[in-house]
């Protein structure tokens, strides 16, 4: 195997470009030729790619988004789509494929691995942090900091107007982002899909805080909990507080990656090249207990990552 | 007149604290005693205030929000509310009142001026930039930069996914913020209440750009144009583009003021103290054609500020 | 004249790329062909250039630095160098040349204008803000905000350690940047080349502040005042304060341009294209009293821009 | 033990305030009374303190610096100074003391522990990341991101002028900060005290890069390696490159803490309160292999933290 390819799939995450850069340079130093498929899985299906060299990935380390582009690709969800992708790998003599993306991307990669001899290695990059193999995905830290910076600004208004703000952050069906953000902005209440909540508890917290002299408040809600518009209205109706909703949107997906997202990008790229050098495939790299390693693609796809709910209690105590 | 007071009213804007600090220190250096009414007009009605000294306004220059707090105050919209406020000024022997806020605040101030002998001076601080007297309000530059920074991040995703993003910014009924932001992020289309637009034009622009190879796009819309959710859906339906909506919310109101917002805060505070020293009242200070000056409160309230629509055409040419 | 060229010279400034983009797109819409000389004057001497189209300037609006590059070019200071540059313009049939840079760049442009028939238009882009024609150069606002953000961070340490910090900012021989930055961070003392200062005054200010309970302090010094290392040591020796020096370096030249720097870039580019369309040359565009216009290149080069020293007194009162 | 105290000592680090807030609120919820000594060890010697309640630590989570202040305290390095501090703890009936600081602070704390019965718990907060017990100190991530953001700006100028920049970052005698920063900004060369370097290697790297067409460059140097002014001059003399030095100064110590620094602050505060609840003392909390725990104060002081030099090689490969 002397030729490998890389593809970024699913939602973009800050640090994808840093990962591509690291991968290309480390692989090149080991004698690999590297190609980049464009527009996610679509590039594999249509065999649209570009050669990548140490020089051509210059100047992308600090850029958000992905220079390889990404897209939704319904065709890749079909048997025929996956076969086309596999044929591209064969006809282009690609011995190894690095898939940079999140949980959904790895499920696609698992299906593809059943149709190809190419070694597939996944690198988790996602602002949702919902990939089993790793304590932290590339991009998660950046998204958390973007949300925290925005909420720090919103807090100015919350305090000045003595209002309660409900802030919806991303995270798809999971609450990792909301939990980290909520804890670090000092939210009195954090609402995540993994933990049932009672509207009466939220209302009670607001009322008790008012009695203790704390008239402003922050509620951080994961997008996965459902309709935040309605919830904000209900809370306003049931307290004497002015309640405003602010949805931290797509800015969370973009922006220059933080030091930590870039560091993970480099370390994960290094591990991926190690695996490909040893012709090991069908694995996903990750950070576990402070150590970079990898597990099988299948295990990563089939295991749901757990969220530590004790942090909810800690957050509540901290925001007293 | 040796005793003056200051109040922040309406929506908060970055630089209000810098203004309060400047005002207190410059007024103190002229021998004035300064008080701050709390929670906007409510503080005048309930006579809730705090003495402000050069020392007590230390460390607030760089803070967003307002340390004096602000609030909606329906009672101030009544004749009786305004009378109560006027009585507070008399009973507290306040000879001059500085009102820091936007257009709505000055309308309130105008009503109050009819019931009191105190000299009222308005300082325009608002992210909406909709105050007639001034080319630029305190806080506008900060809000514009906050929105620009966020949209720069969203552009990463727009380009990576080859999507069109519609981004709603604040500005109440006016398009000043949307126009500046749209022009400076390179939006292909800017939608503001002051200028009628045709959906067909937006759709045409997107289609033409696609033909020319530009597959991503940015539409910046003022909140004043109406329902952006529906508009985004209609555009998606009528183009082959993926269209996403992102609402830049309350973060635009907060955050540390930019150099420019702080500079205006200082210059406006200086002018306000000048006016009060000369016992001139019922005026609003502002920046016109590069020069700080003031006009009568009445003229400021009764004249609608014009927006330069030629910038829309410039923006379109720039985003070709 | 159907062919124009653009060059960025001297030190880079945030917004140069936004200016290039604006210029290319607006000129293209008027039917001009546009070229970009590379590496400043060197590109004119060596005839190194690249065609620029509306598409090729895509994605550079928000980038710091200059994609055309810039360099010091001693040869351009010689008669022969200027003649070579003029010959390049003739042989390449360049009818108009837009020079984006600061005061030094325009002096070079003035010399060049004497040897060529091409219409030369200057656009002031410089973090020093020392160009006579304009109240504000492209990039100045960005540099000011970068310095202010850093000093806001340094203030955390100044207050926590109750130290005095002297902070050196850029500006070459002029004090525009130091004055704006010093005023907007709340420096007790601002040192600029345009205003003589006494060490004893600085020392007195620190001592008086200590007596009044203000134990930390900020001194903002322009690089043009001389050796700040020695000055900081002398102040420490003569007060009981811990004095630290921090030099805000090259970061001031880079970074994504602020909304205001981008806006000026767009407006100045528009004016430059207007001039070239009317075959007017040997002018520099600028913003005066809130209006965009132009003056002759010669006048701009021969007139020193004045700095308003009354702001020093205002700054002192504000930082009491 | 129902009364505990907290003190911030040594250089300030972003997240110290978040730690104080977390500590006070979590300790209060367990029934402790909490006091804060002011100005570091000086406050223990002079018995200067302030009561801290859940309400009084409101609004400090996001602030850089330390609201308790800190200072250099030569007297605490004497036997008599330490005895005075111990007597203060006894006379004020302080059963537990939380020391927030870096390596130097813990050495002081170890000495103090020999003279007092109070349980001492250290929480590592330092931008140097040089504390043995923990993989990461509070504030390190913030400092790294501040430096990375500045260097991203400097890169604009480096690329535009095709210059080499040497950038000095903090870290005292250790290279942790320089290593993380250098790796994540893509520096071709990283100079740290833990690894000998040859000037000839730096020069060779620059020359080779020029041959390969990479004319700009970044060298990140830890302050601990010695005189960077002289080194930059020597490199310039020995290459044809323009070499500039930029020292990222005290801004690295300040600013609002990142999400990660705030998270560590919360987790370490929780662990410290756990220890004090169990009357365990003379320990330092930390994060090891992804898990929060503690080791003895003595072990932490006597063991030097190792730095992983393989990252230097990775950085070099990544910046090819």
Query: Per-residue pLDDT tens for B98-147?
Result: 999 999 999 999 999 999 999 999 999 999 999 999 999 999 999 999 99
How does DSSP assign D38-75, residue by residue? Answer: STTHHHHHTT-EEEE-TTTTTT-TT-SS-TT-----GG
CATH architecture group of domain A141-253: 3-Layer(aba) Sandwich (3.40)
Of 3.40.50.970, 3.40.50.460, 3.20.10.10, 3.40.47.10, which CATH number belongs to B142-253? Answer: 3.40.50.460
Q: Which residue in chain C is spatially nearest to B267 when comparing CA positions? A: C314
Select the residue of A11, A156, A250 nearest B254 (Cβ to Cβ): A156
Most A-contacting residue of D315, D318, D320 (CB-CB within 10 A), to test interface: D318
Residue C165 distance to chain D (closest CA, Å): 9
Beta strands in chain D (DSSP E): 3-8, 33-37, 49-52, 96-101, 119-124, 164-169, 189-191, 217-222, 243-247, 283-288, 291-296
Residue D280 distance to chain C (closest CA, Å): 30
Q: Give the CATH number of domain D3-139+257-302.
A: 3.40.50.450
Instruction: Tell me how long chain A is.
Output: 320
Closest by CA position to B160, among listed A115, D169, D94, A20 = A20
Question: What positions of C carry a catalytic annotation?
Answer: 128
Say which DSSP state C77 is in: G
Q: Is the pLDDT of residue D159 over 80?
A: yes
Chains linked to D by 3 or more Cβ pairs within 8 Å: A, C
Pairing of strands B119-124, B96-101: parallel
Q: In the prediction, which pLDDT does A1 show? A: 63
Q: Which residue in chain D is spatially nearest to A212 when comparing CA positions? A: D55
Select the residue of D165, D247, D254 nearest C155 (Cβ to Cβ): D254
Closest by CA position to C241, among listed C186, C291, C198, C202 = C202
CB spacing of C254 vs D153 below 8 angstroms: yes
Q: Which residue in chain C is spatially nearest to D215 when comparing CA positions? A: C69
Which strands form B119-124's sheet, in the order they lie side by side?
A: B49-52, B33-37, B3-8, B96-101, B119-124, B283-288, B291-296
**Locus of tokens 């060059």:** C7
Which chain C residues are closer than 8 Å to B145 by Cβ? 145, 258-259
Residue D109 distance to chain A (closest CA, Å): 26
The answer to whether D203 and D238 are in contact (CB under 8 A) is yes
pLDDT digits (tens, 9 = 90+) for D268-309: 999 999 999 998 989 999 999 999 999 999 999 999 999 998
CB spacing of D69 vs C162 below 8 angstroms: yes
Burial of B75 from C-beta contacts in 10 A (0-12 / 13-18 / 19+)? middle
CB spacing of B156 vs A254 below 8 angstroms: yes
The answer to whether D66 and D15 are in contact (CB under 8 A) is no
Select the residue of A135, A184, A290 nearest D263 (Cβ to Cβ): A184
CB spacing of D254 vs C156 below 8 angstroms: yes
Q: In the prediction, which pLDDT does D1 show? A: 63
Q: Is the pLDDT of residue D213 over 90?
A: no
CB spacing of D266 vs A184 below 8 angstroms: yes
CB spacing of D250 vs C14 below 8 angstroms: no
pLDDT digits (tens, 9 = 90+) for B160-217: 999 999 999 999 999 999 999 999 999 999 999 999 999 999 999 999 988 888 889 9
The answer to whether B48 and B42 are in contact (CB under 8 A) is yes
Q: Is the pLDDT of residue B219 over 90?
A: yes
Are domains C3-139+257-302 and C140-253 of this chain identical in fold? yes
Chain A, chain B: beta-carbon pairs less than 8 Å apart? 115
Select the residue of C55, C62, C259 nearest B141 (Cβ to Cβ): C259
CB spacing of B246 vs A251 below 8 angstroms: yes
Which of A12, A128, A130, A141 is catalytic? The answer is: A128
Pairing of strands D49-52, D33-37: antiparallel
Most B-contacting residue of C31, C178, C184 (CB-CB within 10 A), to test interface: C184
Domain ranges of chain A: 3-139+257-302, 141-253
Tell whether domain C140-253 is in CATH 3.40.50.460.
yes
Q: Is the pTM of this model over 0.90?
A: yes
Mean pLDDT for the stretch of residues D48-76 = 96
Q: Is the pLDDT of residue A250 over 80?
A: yes
Select the residue of C21, C145, C212 nearest B259 (Cβ to Cβ): C145
Q: Which residue in chain C is spatially nearest to B159 when comparing CA positions? A: C59
CB spacing of B63 vs A156 below 8 angstroms: yes
Which chain C residues are closer than 8 Å to D160 by Cβ? 8, 12, 65-66, 69-70
Q: Which of the pair, A213 or A221, is modelled with greater confidence? A: A221
Rounded Cα distance between D90 and C271, Å, is 75
Most C-contacting residue of D227, D229, D250, D252 (CB-CB within 10 A), to test interface: D250
Residue A59 distance to chain D (closest CA, Å): 9
Q: Which residue in chain B is spatially nearest to A62 when comparing CA positions? A: B156
Rounded Cα distance between C116 and B116, Å, is 68
Q: List the single range of A130-134, B148-152, C213-217 with lowest mean pLDDT.
A: C213-217
Average pLDDT over chain D, rounded to whole? 96
Question: Widest CA span of chain C, in angstroms?
Answer: 71
Most B-contacting residue of C15, C186, C220 (CB-CB within 10 A), to test interface: C186
Angle at C98 between CA C93 and CA C99, to 5 degrees: 125
Percent of chain A with pLDDT over 70: 100
pLDDT digits (tens, 9 = 90+) for C147-193: 999 999 999 999 999 999 999 999 999 999 999 999 999 999 999 99
Q: In the prediction, which pLDDT does B205 show? A: 92
Tell me the pLDDT band of C1, cut-offs 50, 70 and 90.
Answer: low
pLDDT digits (tens, 9 = 90+) for C16-75: 999 999 999 999 999 999 999 999 999 999 999 999 999 999 999 999 999 999 998 999
Which chain B residues are closer than 8 Å to A248 by Cβ? 249
Which chain A residues are closer than 8 Å to D141 by Cβ? 259-260
Residue A175 distance to chain D (closest CA, Å): 16
Rounded Cα distance between D21 and D1, Å, is 20
Give me the helix-helix angle, D259-277 and D140-161, nearest 10°. 160
Q: In the prediction, which pLDDT does C320 show? A: 81
CB spacing of C254 vs D155 below 8 angstroms: yes
Which tokens sit at C127?
A: 């973090």
Residue B279 distance to chain A (closest CA, Å): 30
Chains linked to A by 3 or more Cβ pairs within 8 Å: B, D
pLDDT digits (tens, 9 = 90+) for A157-169: 999 999 999 999 9
The answer to whether D145 and C153 are in contact (CB under 8 A) is no
Residue A317 distance to chain D (closest CA, Å): 6
Percent of chain A with pLDDT over 90: 94
């Amino acid at each position: 195997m002397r030729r490998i390819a890389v593809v970024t799939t699913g939602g973009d995450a800050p640090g994808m470009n840093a990962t591509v850069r690291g991968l290309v340079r480390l692989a090149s130093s080991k004698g690999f030729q590297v190609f980049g498929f464009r527009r996610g899985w679509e590039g594999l299906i249509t065999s649209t790619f570009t050669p990548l060299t140490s020089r051509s990935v210059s100047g992308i380390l600090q850029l958000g988004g992905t220079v390889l582009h990404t897209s939704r690709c319904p065709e890749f969800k079909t048997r025929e789509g996956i076969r086309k992708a596999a044929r591209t790998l064969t006809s282009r003599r690609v011995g190894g494929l690095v898939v940079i993306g999140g949980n959904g991307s790895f499920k696609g990669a698992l299906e593809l691995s059943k149709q190809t001899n190419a070694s597939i290695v996944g690198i988790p990059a996602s602002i949702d942090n919902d990939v089993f193999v790793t304590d932290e995905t590339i991009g998660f830290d950046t998204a958390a900091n973007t949300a925290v910076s925005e909420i720090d600004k919103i807090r100015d208004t919350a305090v000045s107007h003595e209002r309660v703000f409900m802030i919806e952050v991303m995270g798809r069906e999971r609450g990792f982002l909301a939990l980290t953000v909520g804890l670090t902005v000092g939210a009195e209440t954090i609402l995540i899909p993994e933990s049932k909540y009672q509207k009466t508890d939220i209302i009670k917290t607001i009322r008790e805080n008012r009695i203790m002299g704390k008239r402003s408040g922050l509620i951080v809600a994961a997008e996965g909990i459902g309709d935040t518009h309605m919830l904000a209205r209900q809370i306003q109706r049931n307290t004497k507080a002015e309640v405003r909703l602010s949805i931290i949107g797509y800015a969370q997906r973009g922006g220059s990656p933080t030091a930590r997202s870039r560091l993970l990008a480099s370390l994960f790229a290094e591990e991926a090249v190690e695996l490909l050098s040893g012709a090991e495939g069908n694995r996903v790299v990750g950070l576990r207990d402070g150590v970079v390693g990898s597990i099988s693609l299948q295990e990563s796809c089939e295991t749901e990552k757990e969220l530590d709910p004790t942090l909810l209690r800690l957050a509540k105590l901290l925001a007293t």
